[in-house]
């Protein structure tokens, strides 16, 4: 049985692209994080992929700006990030507490 997740909030196509690309970058930075990594090759591959992912993130923001979406609706986007497991995914970017080292 699937867990009962809250629905994804209504987003513009550009906002959805922003959220997707942001989480893609976060996942890659989490794989590069030297405090959590194990192998240099995995970090190297993630760093190589980060270039194109960061470009896609920039492009999503550029598209929003060109369309006149000048404000980021943070509460709505935060809800979307939570539904997409953003809290867990962003934890990999941080330095773990000393007890986990």
The per-residue pLDDT for range 51-88, each reduced to its tens digit, is 999 999 999 999 999 999 888 899 999 999 999 999 99
101, 29 in Cβ contact below 8 A? no
pLDDT confidence of residue 3: 65
24, 52 in Cβ contact below 8 A? no
CA-to-CA distance for 84 and 7, rounded, in angstroms? 10
Q: Which tokens in the block code for residue 36?
A: 């959590």
Q: Is the pLDDT of residue 2 over 60?
A: no
pLDDT confidence of residue 4: 72
Predicted confidence band of residue 101 (pLDDT cuts 50, 70, 90)? low
pLDDT confidence of residue 26: 98
Other beta carbons within 10 angstroms of residue 87's beta carbon come to: 10
Query: What are 6-49's pLDDT values in tens digits?
Result: 788 889 899 999 999 999 999 999 999 999 888 899 999 999 99
pLDDT confidence of residue 36: 87
């Amino acid at each position: 049985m699937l867990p009962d997740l809250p629905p994804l909030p209504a987003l513009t196509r550009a906002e959805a692209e922003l959220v997707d690309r942001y989480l893609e970058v976060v996942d890659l930075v989490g794989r590069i994080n030297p405090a959590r990594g194990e192998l240099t090759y995995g970090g190297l591959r993630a760093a190589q992929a980060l270039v194109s992912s960061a470009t896609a993130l920039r492009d999503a923001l550029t598209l929003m700006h060109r369309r006149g979406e000048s404000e980021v609706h943070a509460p709505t986007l935060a809800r979307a990030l939570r539904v997409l497991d953003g809290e867990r995914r962003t934890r990999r970017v941080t330095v773990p507490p000393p007890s986990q080292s």
